[in-house]
Structure formats: C-alpha cells, structure tokens
Chain A
Amino acid sequence: MKKKALFYFFFIVLFLLLQTTLLQYVAIYGVKPNILVVFIIVTALLRGESEGAPAGFFAGLSLDLMFGSAIGFYALLGLYLGIAVGATNKKIFRENILIVVFFTFIYSLAYESLVYIVNNIMSGDMNFLYALTRTVLPESAYNCVVAVLLFPLVMKAGKWFDGADKKVRKY
C-alpha cells in the first residue's frame, strides 16, 4: 500500500513537471497533450476506480495548486473522471491497447469539452464548435499517442503491485 502511494505520488509529480515545462515544445499547432488526464484515464481503466478515483483527485489537486484559479476545480473533475472511467472497466476486456486508446479519446473529448464549457459558460460568447475542432479534438488525438506510451508503464506497475500483494498474503 505504501509502495503504491509512493508510486502514484512520484508519477503525478513527474507528469505535472513535464506538463508545465517541456510539453509546450512538442505542441502541434499550439495544442499540447495533457499527460495527467491520460494518466488518470489509463490508471482508472487498468486498475479500476479504487485507484483511478484517488489518482484523479490528487492529479487534479496538484494542477489546482499549481495553476488553477479556484482550488478544487480540477480535483473534482479528476475525481469524477477516475470514477467514470473506472466504471467502464468492469464490462470490457481492458488490457487491450486499442481499447485503451479508444477510451482515452472518448474521455479526453468529454473532459476537455466540460472544462471549456464550465470556464466559458458565463462569458457570453461561447464558440464551442471552434474550440471543439481546434483544441478538443486535436488534443484528444494527441492524448491517444501519450496513452500508447503510458499503457505499458501503468500495466507493469499494476502487475508489480498485484505480485507484491500476493506475496504478502502468502505469509
């Protein structure tokens, strides 16, 4: 359990750092992927909501404390993202990379659309179609590429946790 918490802590810190510093250099047409969102989705898919929800909450909270205008906004979204993705997990064969990529796309789309709508609902001039085609869709596609890279990492970590749990149970 301690190992698991430490692992998640390390990865959230690492991805937060990458997201706020180096990711701007791989942006295509000004759109960069969101590693933390992909991390929440992949974790929740492979590990279920019991790990996806806390991972989502803390990843979101770190974003809030780093850059958010209101503490709790990304934490809440991350928490619900983890729960929503975790709920999908029971019904499908989850350890298939195509399935992971598919759900990364769908949930990124939903997540970023929600972020846009919540941020702009009060502004009066919502241009959702423009935001969708120029930012949300390209980002979701880009997130899929990141998901392919993150998938083996989270998978291996998961096997390592399970293995460690079994050993504990034996004795």
Chain B
Amino acid sequence: MLRFFKSKWFVLSLITIALLVVMGISANENSKLNWLNNIVSVPMKPIQGFFSSIGREIDDFLSFFKEMEEVKKENDVLRAEVAELRKQNREMSVLESKNEELRQALNLKEQFGDYTIHGANIIAVDPSNWFNAFKIDIGTTEGIDSNFPVVTSSRGLVGRVVTSDISTSTVQTIIDVESAISGWIAKAGGGHAIVRGDMELKGKGLCKMDYIPLEVDVEVGDIIETSGLGGYYPKGIVIGEVIEVRKSNSELDRYAIIQPAADFKRLEEVFVLKRNKNIKSGSAEE
C-alpha cells in the first residue's frame, strides 16, 4: 500500500485532480485565481512588446517591395479620388454646420459620450491556431476591466476585453469562434441578428451573421452595427459590411458573410472604450 502512495501513478493522479480543481475555479472570468496570470504576463510584457515590434518591422520591410507595384497604381486612383473628395468636402462643410445646429436643437448626445477612449498596442497573439485573441499593453492599472469594447482608429469594432491583469489585457476579436454579438442591420426596415465568428471564415478575417429576421431583406453592401443589446457594446459601432448572403435549404437557414470594418491581419493599435460611469449590465449575451 505504501508503495502505491510513492508510485508515479499516485503522484500523477494527484496532480491531475489538483489541476482539474484549479481549472474549474479559474474558468470563471472573475475568479481571484486569475491573479496568477500576472506572474507571467507582467515580466513578459516589455519583451513581447519588443518582439512584436521587430516582427512588424521585418514584415513592413518585406511587404515594401511586394507592394511597390500596387502602390503606383493605387496612387493614380487616389489622386483622382482626392480631387473628387475635395469637391465633396466643400459641400460637406456646409452640411456639417447645418447638422451642428440641428443637433444642438435636438440635444443629441455624443456617440461615445459615456466612454473615455484609451489607445493600446498589440503585444502578443494567441499561441494556438484555434482562437483569435490578442494581448494589449494596458491593464487594470489604467482602469481596463473585462467586457470593455475595443475598436480601431476608424471606430470599427474589434472585440471586447476578456480578462485584464495589472499591465496587460486579453482581447477576444469578433472573428473568434467563441464570439457572438448582437448586431443591427442598419437600413430602413432593419432588424437584429447575431454576428459570430466562424471556423471556416476566420482565416480570411471574415465573420458570419445568422438569425436574420425573415422580414428583413439583407443585401450585399448593408452595414451592420452593434445593436446595444446585451450590455457589452454601446449602440452604433460599425461591425462591418455584408459581402455575401447565402441561402441553404430554406429561407430560415440563410446567413450573411460580413467583412468586418477592422482589418484583423493588419491590426497594430486598438482603442479601448472605458466606461466612465460604472454601469453594471444585468444581462449577458453569451
């Protein structure tokens, strides 16, 4: 009997049980045990930042040659576009002042009025091939907490903060297979639908929209925004654009493929929307 307690199988089963217990406790995003993550993430942060910037430099350098030809063509197109846009801009400034007047009259709130915007750099990506998550270089010290929305510089939705340590936070992107958010089809007669990550689409940086209401006529080019339901995201952040509508067997089965406004292959800097007032949301959407 004593020999059994000293045997490697006993030690192994002991470790296994201990790890299963730890897993069970730490699976909760708010568990105190997740404090342990700081042991690795805090000392690694500066080195990861350094490694990531080297990677980006090399990648930029290599793509410089590859893109030279494209850039030339693009330049011509852009020149034409600039002229066109200058003209539009002049017309717009008139509209803007008009808009401002009307806005004041209606007393409309700023879109992200309840939020402060915090810039952050991506310092590491998920090590596996299964998830699309990344780490950013701000954490609880900067007041970042789980479920804060993350957007790009042009305010396209990137995802949300899942966990945050002292100095880093993990962000789950909207193309991650475990992500599901409530979207709003932004057009006349629009409706709610669920935007989720898909294993077959995430490689191309796309995501999928299903549970589209029967009465809504989804078309290519429709803009999808956050609906504000669920409590994580404020209403009206652009998720992306419909690039394809697929119908399988029946009308009920149809789903749309979304090109997110954020380019997940070229993401370097993101912005976290920090809630000013501590509004606790009652309902969770996942």
Contact = CB atoms under 8 A, between A and B. Distances in A.
A145 to B, nearest CB: 15
Nearest to A67: B126
B67 to A, nearest CB: 16
A83 B8 CA distance: 11
Interface in B32-65: 33-34, 36-37, 39-41, 44, 47-48, 51-52, 54-55, 58-59
A17 interface: yes
Contacts of A96: none
B133 A67 contact: yes
B78 interface: no
Interface string A66-89: 110111110110010001000000
B127 to A, nearest CB: 4
B51 A22 contact: yes
Contacts, number: 109
A79 B27 CA distance: 19
A22 B54 contact: yes
A146 to B, nearest CB: 13
Given A65-B37, A71-B33, A29 B128 contact: no
Interface residues of A, number: 42
B135 interface: yes
Given A20-B135, A130-B199, A115 B125 contact: no
The 8 A-B residue pairs whose C-beta atoms are closest, nearest first, are: A21-B51, A20-B124, A30-B203, A72-B19, A65-B40, A71-B26, A72-B23, A70-B27
26 contacts: A16-B127, A17-B48, A19-B127, A20-B125, A20-B126, A21-B48, A22-B55, A34-B128, A57-B15, A63-B127, A65-B36, A65-B37, A65-B39, A66-B41, A67-B124, A67-B133, A70-B23, A70-B26, A71-B23, A71-B36, A76-B19, A76-B23, A83-B12, A116-B130, A130-B200, A134-B203
Interface of A: 13, 16-25, 29-32, 34, 36, 57, 62-63, 65-67, 69-73, 75-76, 79, 83, 112, 115-116, 119, 127, 130-131, 134-135, 139
